[in-house]
Amino acid sequence: MNKPFPTISPDVYCRLCEHAISNLMLPEDAVRVAVGLKPIEPFTIDKSVIDGHNDIRRFLKILEELYKKGKKQFEETAPQIKGTKRTYFGKNPESIFQTGQSNTPKKIPGSDWYVSSNNDPSRKEKIIHDLMIKMKFSFNYAGMISQLCNSSNKPKLPYKYHSLYIKLKKEIAQSN
């Protein structure tokens, strides 16, 4: 016989979401880490590493973390991330520059890789998202991290968590 799944209060759910946001992880990974289990994601990105930077610096810092913590996956997947005409990743600046005169390479810190850096924020977001998906991160976590390239430095939960979080916050406020 199946035991009923334990329920949590709206307040606990909201605090869990706030903890997840402040630690750049999904709520289910926050629970897993809290009880001593490994996160579902291959690894998580430390928010302090990317705090306080402009969009290009956040882009490069996220790539640095992906390379540092997942070097093998990064090496295998980065060459697969390309635009219609542009190469986004290369082992030398020429491999990126040759795919467009306005394609500006920047070195990814801590690696021997270069990345096309003069894309608009939504393109940077797509590059990070596509890379993370190929590195076996979940769609939701890739979205949570990649949106930092296209917004202020404030992380947001993916929609499936955020909508319930907002609804419960309103209910809690109304009951007080």
Q: Report domain extents, the chain.
A: 10-175
Residue 49: predicted pLDDT: 85
The secondary structure of 129-161, three-state, reads: HHHHHHCCCCHHHHHHHHHHHCCCCCCCCCHHH
Q: What is the dihedral of CA 4, 10, 12, 13, to 10 degrees?
A: 80
What secondary structure letter does DSSP report for 90?
A: E
pLDDT digits (tens, 9 = 90+) for 60-77: 999 999 999 999 999 999
pTM: 0.89
pLDDT digits (tens, 9 = 90+) for 18-53: 999 999 999 999 999 999 999 999 999 988 888 767
Class of the CATH-defined domain 10-175: mainly alpha
**Residue 42 to residue 38: CA distance in whole angstroms:** 9
Written as six digits, the tokens of 108 are 């990814």
**Residue 20 to residue 7: CA distance in whole angstroms:** 18
